[in-house]
Amino acid sequence: MDVLSDILKKIRLSSAVYFKSDFSSPWGMDIPKGPFAQFHIVTRGQCVLKTKSKAIQLFTGDIVVFPLGTSHWLADSESSDRQNGKDVVEAIINGDSLFSGEKISTTLVCGHFEFDKAIDHPFVQELPEIIHISDAEKKELSWLERITDLIIQEADSEQSGSNIIVDKLGEVLFIHALRAYILNNRSEKGFLAALQDERMRRVLKSIHDCPDREWQLDTLAQVAGMSRTSFSNHFKSLMGETPLNYITQWRMLLAKELLKESYQSVGEIATKVGYQSEAAFNRVFKKRAEITPLKFRQASV
Q: What is the pLDDT of residue 170?
A: 85
The b-or-e profile of 52-83 (16+ CB within 10 A means b, else e) is eeeebebeebbbbbbbbbbebbbbbeeebeeb
* Strand pairing class (28-31; 83-84): parallel
Higher pLDDT: 1 or 29? It is 29
Lowest-confidence region among 10-14, 85-89, 187-191: 10-14
Q: What is the pLDDT of residue 146?
A: 85
pLDDT at 118 over 80: no
Q: Could you report the per-residue pLDDT of 178-206, keeping only the tens digit for each?
A: 888 888 888 889 999 999 999 999 999 99
- Long-range residue pairs from 289-298, CB within 8 A, at least 24 positions apart, any chain: 289/252, 289/256, 293/255, 293/259, 293/266, 293/269, 294/266, 296/256, 296/259, 297/259, 297/260, 297/266
Q: Give the mean model confidence (pLDDT) for residues 259-284.
A: 95
Going by pLDDT thresholds of 50, 70 and 90, the confidence category of residue 295 is: very high
Lowest-confidence region among 30-34, 165-169, 242-246: 165-169
Q: Give the mean model confidence (pLDDT) for residues 86-114.
A: 90
Residue % of the chain over a pLDDT of 70: 100
Query: Using alpha carbons only, what angle is made at residue 13 by residues 120 and 173, rounded to the nearest 5 degrees?
Result: 125
Alpha-carbon gap, residue 59 to 69, rounded angstroms? 22
Distances (CA, A) of 281 to 49, 97, 215, 290: 49, 56, 15, 13
Count other Cβ atoms within 10 Å, centred on residue 286.
14
Going by pLDDT thresholds of 50, 70 and 90, the confidence category of residue 73 is: very high
Q: Could you report the per-residue pLDDT of 226-257, keeping only the tens digit for each?
A: 999 999 999 999 999 999 999 999 999 999 99
pLDDT at 1 over 70: no
Q: Could you report the per-residue pLDDT of 273-286, keeping only the tens digit for each?
A: 999 999 999 999 99
Mean of per-residue pLDDT scores for the chain: 91
Query: How far is C-alpha 238 from the chain's CA centre?
Result: 21
Alpha-carbon gap, residue 29 to 129, rounded angstroms? 19
Q: What is the pLDDT of residue 267?
A: 96
Is pTM, for the whole model, over 0.85? no
Q: What is the pLDDT of residue 199?
A: 96
Alpha-carbon gap, residue 130 to 65, rounded angstroms? 6
Q: What is the pLDDT of residue 265?
A: 96
